[in-house]
Amino acid sequence: MDSRRTSVVEKSLTAIATNSKKSAYYLAAMRPRQWTKNLVVFAAPLFAFSINVQSLLGSLLAFVLFCCASSGFYLINDIVDVESDRQHPVKCKRPIAAGLVSIRVATVMALLLLGGALIFGWLRSPHLGAAITAYALLQVAYNLRLKRMVILDVGAIATGFVLRAYAGAAATSITLSSWFLMCTAMLALFLGIEKRKAELRLAQLKGNKPRSVLKYYSLPLLGRMENVVTTGTVLTYALWSSGPYLHGAPTSWMLLTLPFVLYGIFRYQLLSDPQQISTYSDNHDPEETGRSERPEEVLLKDLPILITVIGWIITCFLILWLRKQGIIE
């Protein structure tokens, strides 16, 4: 009798362990590290100084829906590219390519995630539903064509971030400043260019160009593009933070946050600098170098960038609190 009970317990524990592993594989296939990109939806209430329970809940809903939509497309991409991923030294470890998640299950997950995001988005707000729909159409266009079209590929990446920011405003019924939208677009273009620059340098180090669009780019060209959008990013943020006289931030005290933005941009440029990547790759695996190729990796792993973001957020909240107390205007 005891042995039978022991056998039942062992089978139950084995089943629990198996289900836990499957759940971990399903979660990994959704690429949760990429969800950090969707934190842009919280920018709208923060930039508008509209921090309350209602705005936070609305932004949280937009964040969850964009995480579902983006994960749905990651699953679709991994399904379509499963054979080529299996030949790649790094991508072969992805759950679908490694056979840890079946294509049938991945397809069902993708449909549920995308369908759920679109349905709940339209139910919450027509503007939010339109933003998620536009994002979905953009992803389809990007994967079918735009990612192979020089300059337009970077524009598509930037548009995705702008749609996230717009979705955050739509979910909270906040009217966005034109300076905020321009700054978001410039910063998104900056990240897209830095991503291509890091990819190109890593491709040169490894002697191949995995993205076909990279053959149209050169480091001098990307450097010139970088100079334009860097200037645009700093100027639009400075004009926004100058205050209500320029139809920007609610208070000109937001200029105190400008040093954080400047340092963050310069630090990101350092990480994507060709010389920096070459030096780092001498003693490291090339797949681990050039972190600016993956913005989510920078936010999660680069301590100076993380401290800068936290410092910016704390300063914003401090200015907001002092303004509410009537200490500053």
Task: Report the Cα–Cα distance between both ends of the chain, in Å, rounded.
Answer: 77
* Residue 9 pLDDT grade (very low, low, confident, very high; cuts 50, 70, 90): very low
Residue 133 clears pLDDT 50, i.e. is over it: yes
Q: Which of 16-20, 270-274, 299-303 has the lowest mean pLDDT?
A: 16-20
What pLDDT does residue 65 have?
A: 95
What is the model's pLDDT at position 53?
A: 87
pTM of the model: 0.80
**What are the pLDDT digits (tens) for 228-252?**
999 999 999 999 998 888 888 888 9
The predicted model gives 285-290 an average pLDDT of: 47
Give 290's contacts (C-beta < 8 A, 6+ positions apart).
198, 199, 201, 202, 271, 272, 277, 280, 281
pLDDT of 251 reads 87
> Over the chain, what is the mean pLDDT?
83
CA distances from 34 to 3, 68, 74 (A): 47, 11, 10
Lowest mean pLDDT among 59-68, 80-89, 145-154, 252-261: 80-89
Report the distance separating Cα 319 and Cα 233, nearest Å.
22
Q: Is the pLDDT of residue 226 over 60?
A: yes
Winning range, highest mean pLDDT, from 10-14, 270-274, 305-309: 305-309
Of residues 91 and 318, more confidence is placed in 318
